[in-house]
Structure 1
Amino acid sequence: MDSQGKRTVRFQLTGAAALAVLSGGVGSWAYARAGASASDLVRDLAVGWAYVVAGLVAWRRRPANHTGRLMVAEGITWFFGNLQGTSVPALFAFGAWWEALNMAILLHLMLSFPEGRLTTVLTRRLVVFTYGLVAVGGLIRTLLFDPRRETGATYLDCRNCGPNLLHVPAWDGFFGTFDAAYHAAGWLVSVVAAVAVVQRWRHASAARRRALLPAWIGIGVAVAFLMWDMLFYVVPWFGEVGSLGEQAVYLLSDLAQVAVPFAFLGGLLRLHLQRAEVSGLVIDVGTDPDPARVREALVRVLGDPTLRLGLWREERGGYVDGSGREVNPEGPGRTPVRAADGRPLALLHHDRALAEDPELLASVAAALRLALENVWLRTRAKDVATRIVRAADEERGRLERDLHDGAQARLVFALMSVRRVQKGLAEHPDEKLREAADEAESSLRLAIQELRGIAQGIHPAVLTREGLAPALNALAREAALPVVVAAEARRYDPLVESTAYFTVCEALSNAAKHAGARAVSVSARHQDGRLVVEAVDDGVGGADTARGTGLRGLADRLAAVDGVLHIHSPAGGGTRIRAELPCV
C-alpha cells in the first residue's frame, strides 16, 4: 500500500472511531433516560465499543478485508435501538426503525468471516434479504408503532418515551400481528444462517474450522437472542418473574456479544504467534531438509494438518513430497517457493483458507526459502569440499605414481649402474676411486629410501593396491612406537580409505611427538553403514583441536566427506581419536 492509501485508511479509521464515540455517547444518554442503571450502561458500552476496537484493529491490519469494517459497523449500530429512550420524535423513530440493524450486520459478519466477503449465492441472498427485512420491515413496524400503547414492544423499560415521528395512528390495530411476523422472519433468518454456517463447518478443513470459530460464537449470540425473544413471546410471564431473572438474561446476552470481538482479537493474536514461530522455521529445518521434518514444522506454524510439502527434485523435474509422490503445482491453495535466482525450491499445497492471510504465507515462504537455500549452499559447499579433497587425494596418488615410476625408477637404475661400476673397480689399484663409487652407491640407496618415505607420506601405494588394513599394518611397522592394529580386511571407497589412513597417521604422529605415549592401538571396522576408525594411546592426554592445526585440518577433511571426528583426551588419561565415515 502506497502512502496515499495509508493516509486514506487512517482518515477512515479516525472517522469511524469518532462516529463510534458519538453513537455510544448519544445511545448511552438515551439508555440512561430510559432508566438504565450504571451497570447497564457499562455493559452496553463494553459490548458496542468492543466491536469497534476489535474492528479498528482488524481494519488497520487488513484494510482489504471487510471484516474490520463490519465489526466497526456492528459496534456503531449496537446503540441505535437505545434512541427509543429519548423524547425527541425523530431520534425515537430512527431508533425504532433501525433497532435490528446490528443483528443484520452480525449475520453478515458471521457469513463472510474470515474472508470478509460472501462466497456463495445462498449467503448473498440471505444477507440481502436480512438488510431488506430491517429496512422495509423495520419501517413498516415503525409506522405501526405507538410507544404509549405498545409499552412492551422494545427491550427498553420506558413508558414515557417518544412520541414516534413516523407513527400512523390509523394503523394501530395492525401492530401486534405485524410485529409477531417481523420477529418470526428474524427467527427464520437466524435458523437459515445457522444451517449455512454448519454446512461451511462440515466441509471445512481443520485450519478453516479454527478460523470459523468466532463465527460459531456469533451463532451462539444469535441463538441467545432468539431464545430470549421466544421466551418473551411463547412464555409471556417470563418477563414478569422479577428483575433478577431479567437482568441475568441481559448479562448473558451482553457477555455473549462481547465474546465475538474478543474471539476475533484472539484470532489475530494467534496469527501474531504464528508469525513469531516463522522465525524458528530456519532452525527447525536445520541442515537436513527431510520432507517429513520440514512438513511437521510447517504444519505447526500454519496450523494446517492437511498441508503437503513438495521439494523440488531436479532428476524428476517436479515437486516430490515425503512419500515420493509428486505434488501438482497447478490449482488453488498452492504457494511456490523459489530461490533468489528463480530456481524452484519447494511447493506448499495448503488449505485455501490460508490464502486469506497472504502476509503469513509470504513470511513462511521467505523463511522456508532461507532455510532451503542455506541447506543448498551447505550442500554445494560440502560437495565442493569433497571434490577438492578427492582431487587432492587423486593428485597425491598421481604424485606417488610419478615418483615411483619416474624419479625412483631412475634412481634405482642409477644405483644398479653404480653397483656395476663397483664390481668393475673391485681390483682397481686406486683406492680413492673405489671409495667414491661406494659413497655414490650409499647416497643413491639413501635417496631411494627417502624418496620412498616421501611417496609413502604423499599416498602409500599399498593403500591403493591392497586396501586400508594392509596399509595400516605397514604404517604400524614403520611407526616410532609400538602400534597394535585390528582392522577388518575389506575395501571401501578410495576417498574413504585415504581419509581413514591419514586420520591414523595424524593420531600416530601426535602420540609420538606430543603425547609421550608408550604404545598405540588402532582399529578399523564397518558398523551400521559407517567406517569407524579409532586410535587410542596411553600418553599424557590434553589434546585440543583449538590449539593445533593438525587436528583441525583432520576435522575439516572428515567433514568434507560427511565424516565426524570425536576426540576424548582428558589430562593424564591418554587420547582417543575416533573417526566415523559414511560408506557402503
Structure 2
Amino acid sequence: MDSQGKRAVRLRLTAAAALAGVSGAAGSWAYARSGASASDLVRDLAVGWAYVVAGIMAWKRRPANHTGRLMVAEGITWFLGNLQGTAIPVLFTFGAWWEALNMAVLLHLVLSFPEGRLTTVLTRRLVQFAYGLVAVGGLVRTLLFDPATDTGATYLDCASCGPNLFFVPGWHGLFDTFDAVYHAIGWVISAVAAVAVVQRWRHASAARRRALLPAWFGIGVAVAFLMWDMLFYVVPWFGEVGSLAEQAVYLMSDLAQVAVPFAFLGGLLRMHLQRAEVSGLVIDVGTDPDPSKVREALVRVLGDPTLRLGLWREEKGAYVDGSGREVSADGAGRTPVRASDGRQLALLHHDPALADDPELLESTAAALRLALENVWLRTRAKDVATRIVQAADAERGRLERDLHDGAQTRLVFALMSVRRVQRGLADHPDPALREAADEAESSLRLAIDELRGIAQGIHPAVLTRDGLAAALGALAKEAALPVVVAAEPRRYDPLVESTAYFTVCEALSNAAKHARARAVSVSARHLDGRLVVETVDDGIGGADTARGTGLRGLADRLAAVDGVLHIHSPAGGGTRIRAELPCG
C-alpha cells in the first residue's frame, strides 16, 4: 500500500473512532436517562467500544478485509437502541426504528468471516433480508409503537420517554401482533444463519474450522441472547419473578459479547500469521526438497492432514509423493505449482474445502514455487560446478600423461643417448669434451626430475595407478617437514580421490609456509558412506578461509562434489583441516 492509501486508511479510522465516541456518549446519556445504573452503563459501553477497538485494530492490520469495518459498524450501531431513553422525539424515533440494526450487522459479520465478504448466495440473501427487516419491519413497528403504553416492548422500561414522531394511533391495535411476527422473523433468520454456519463447518478443512471458531462464538452469543429475549416475550411473568436472574443473564450476555469482537480479531490475526508462516516454506524446504519434510511444512501451514504432495519427476512423466506413489492431477482439490517459465514443479492434492480460502492456497503455491525453483537453481549451479571440476581433473590427467608420454619420454631418450656418448668418450684424450658430456647428462637428469615434479603436481600418476593411500604416502616422502600418514588401502571414485589428494597438498603447503609446523599427521578413512580426510599440524594456528584463496578454493572445490570442509585453527593451538566427501 502506498503512502496515499495509508493516509486514506488513517483518515477512515479516525472518522470511525470519532463516530463511535459520539455514538457511545449519546447512547450512554440516553440509557442513563431511562434509569440505567452505573454498572449497566459500564457494561453497555464495554460491549460497544470493544467492537470498535477490535475493529479498528483489524481494519488497520488488514485494510482489504471488511471484517474490521463490520466490527466498527457493530460497535457504533450497538448504542442506537439506547436513544429510546430520551425525551427528544427525533432521537427517540430514530432509536426505535434502528434498534435491531446491530443484530443485522452482527449477522453480516458472522456470515462473512473470515474473508470479510459473503461467499454464497444463501448468506447474501440472509444478510439482505436482515437489513431489509430492520429497515422496513423496524419502520412499520415504529409506526405502531406507543412508548407510553408499550413499556415492555423494548429493553428500556421508560414510560416518560418519547414521544414517537412516527406513531399512528389508529394502527396501535396491530402492534402486539406485528411485534410478535417481527421477533419471530428475527429468530428464523438467526436459525437459518446458524444452519449456514454449520454447513460451512461440515464442509470445511481442519484449518478452515479453526478459522470459523470466532463465528461460532459470535452466533452462539447472539442465539443465546435471542432465546433469552424469546423467553421473556413468550412468558411475560418470568421477568416479574426473575429480576435477579434477568440481571445475571444480561451481565453474562454483556461479558460474552465483550469477548466476541476480540475472538474475531484473534481469528483474523491468526489467519494473518498463518499466511506469514507460508514464507517459512522457503526455509523449511532448504536445499533438500525431501517430499516428506516439505509435506509436513505444508500440513502445518494449511492445516490439512490429508494433504498429499507430488513432486514432478521428468523421468516418470508424473507427480510422485514421498512414498514413490504417483499423485493424480485429475479431480477436485488439486493445485498445480509451475515454475516461472512454465515447467511443472509440484502438485498439491488437498481438501477441496481449502478452495474457500484462495488467498492462502495462492500464497502457499507461490512460496513452494520459490522454494523449489531455488533448489533447482542450486542443483543446476552445483551440477555445473561439478562438471567444471571433473573437466579440470580430466585435463590435469591428460596433461600429466602428455608430459609423461611426450616431453619426459623424449628427455629420457636424450639422456640415454648422452650416456652412450659418455661411454664412447671415456678414453678420449680431450677432458673438456668429456666434461661437456657429463654436464649434458646432469642437466638432462635435472630436467627429467623437474618435469616429473611438475607432472606430479598437476596429477600424480601414482594416484591414478595405486590409489589415494599410495599417493598420500608418496606425498609425505617429498614433503618439506615430517608427515605421518594413516590411510585405508581402498579405492574411491577418481574425482573423490583427486579432490582428497589436493586437499592434503594444500594443507601440507600451508603447514610448511605459514603455520611454522614441526610435524603433520594425515589420515584418510571411510566413515558412514563418506571419505573423511584430516590433516593436523602443530603450528601457530589462526588459519582463516577469509584471508587466503587456497583454503577458500578448497571449500569451493569440495562443495562442487557435495563435500564439506571443516577448519579448526585456534591461535597457538595448531590447525585441523577435515574434508568430508560422499563416496557411497
| TM-score relative to the length of structure 2 | 0.85
CA contact (8 A) 2:218 2:260 kept: yes
Shift of 1:482: 5.4
Shift of 1:570: 5.7
Residues 505 and 278 from structure 1, CA distance in 2 versus in 1: closer, same or farther, beyond 3 angstroms?
same
Aligned to 2:541: 542
Farther off after superposition, 468-477 or 290-299: 290-299
Amino acid across the alignment from 1:581: L
CA contact (8 A) 1:220 1:256 kept: no
Shift of 1:410: 0.6
Aligned to 2:490: 490
Hey, what's the Cα distance between the residues in 2 that align with 1:90 and 1:545? Answer: 84
Amino acid across the alignment from 1:544: A
Shift of 1:96: 3.0
Residues 459 and 190 from structure 1, CA distance in 2 versus in 1: closer, same or farther, beyond 3 angstroms?
same
Shift of 1:35: 1.4
Q: Secondary structure at the match of 1:152?
A: helix
Residues 543 and 144 from structure 1, CA distance in 2 versus in 1: closer, same or farther, beyond 3 angstroms?
closer
Aligned to 1:152: 152
Q: Is 1:76 matched with 2:79?
A: no
Hey, what's the Cα distance between the residues in 1 that align with 2:34 and 2:414? Answer: 125
Hey, what's the Cα distance between the residues in 2 that align with 1:445 and 1:73? Answer: 99
Farther off after superposition, 106-115 or 274-283: 274-283
> For 1:388-399, what aligned pairs fall within 5 Å after superposition?
388-399=388-399
Aligned to 1:190: 190
Q: Secondary structure at the match of 2:151?
A: coil
Residues 50 and 318 from structure 1, CA distance in 2 versus in 1: closer, same or farther, beyond 3 angstroms?
farther
CA contact (8 A) 1:284 1:294 kept: yes
Aligned to 2:455: 455
Q: Is 1:99 matched with 2:125?
A: no
Shift of 1:427: 3.1
Amino acid across the alignment from 1:257: Q
CA contact (8 A) 2:30 2:83 kept: yes
Q: Secondary structure at the match of 1:157?
A: coil
Shift of 1:346: 5.6
Aligned to 1:529: 529
Shift of 1:407: 0.5
Q: Secondary structure at the match of 1:532?
A: strand
> For 1:60-459, what aligned pairs fall within 5 Å after superposition?
65-233=65-233, 236-241=236-241, 244-274=244-274, 277=277, 282-300=282-300, 311=311, 315=315, 321-324=321-324, 325-326=326-327, 328=329, 334=335, 336=337, 338-339=339-340, 356=357, 358=359, 371-372=371-372, 374-459=374-459
CA contact (8 A) 1:221 1:257 kept: yes
Shift of 1:398: 1.2
> For 1:14-53, what aligned pairs fall within 5 Å after superposition?
19-53=19-53
Q: Secondary structure at the match of 1:452?
A: helix
Q: Secondary structure at the match of 1:579?
A: strand
Q: Secondary structure at the match of 2:156?
A: coil
Aligned to 1:580: 580
Farther off after superposition, 467-476 or 539-548: 539-548
Residues 452 and 329 from structure 1, CA distance in 2 versus in 1: closer, same or farther, beyond 3 angstroms?
farther
Hey, what's the Cα distance between the residues in 2 that align with 1:63 and 1:552? Answer: 50
5+ residue gaps, structure 1, are none
RMSD (Å) for aligned C-alpha atoms: 3.8
Residues 57 and 485 from structure 1, CA distance in 2 versus in 1: closer, same or farther, beyond 3 angstroms?
closer
Q: Secondary structure at the match of 2:580?
A: strand
Shift of 1:580: 1.0
Shift of 1:579: 1.7
Shift of 1:227: 3.2
Residues 454 and 186 from structure 1, CA distance in 2 versus in 1: closer, same or farther, beyond 3 angstroms?
same
Farther off after superposition, 481-490 or 104-113: 481-490
Give the total of aligned pairs. Answer: 581
Hey, what's the Cα distance between the residues in 1 that align with 2:567 and 2:118? Answer: 66
Aligned to 2:558: 558
Hey, what's the Cα distance between the residues in 1 that align with 2:432 and 2:4? Answer: 105
CA deviations 1:194-245 (Å, max 9, x no partner) are 2221221122112211221221111221132123224424554542356554
Amino acid across the alignment from 1:92: F
Q: Is 1:474 matched with 2:474?
A: yes
Residues 532 and 103 from structure 1, CA distance in 2 versus in 1: closer, same or farther, beyond 3 angstroms?
same
Residues 484 and 318 from structure 1, CA distance in 2 versus in 1: closer, same or farther, beyond 3 angstroms?
same
Residues 400 and 330 from structure 1, CA distance in 2 versus in 1: closer, same or farther, beyond 3 angstroms?
farther
CA deviations 1:151-188 (Å, max 9, x no partner) are 22210121222333444445555544443444334333
Shift of 1:404: 0.5
Amino acid across the alignment from 2:426: A
Q: Secondary structure at the match of 2:163?
A: coil
Hey, what's the Cα distance between the residues in 1 that align with 2:221 and 2:566? Answer: 65
Q: Secondary structure at the match of 2:84?
A: helix
Aligned to 1:501: 501
Residues 481 and 74 from structure 1, CA distance in 2 versus in 1: closer, same or farther, beyond 3 angstroms?
closer
5+ residue gaps, structure 2, are none
Q: Secondary structure at the match of 2:534?
A: strand
Identity over aligned pairs, percent: 84
Hey, what's the Cα distance between the residues in 2 that align with 1:298 and 1:532? Answer: 36
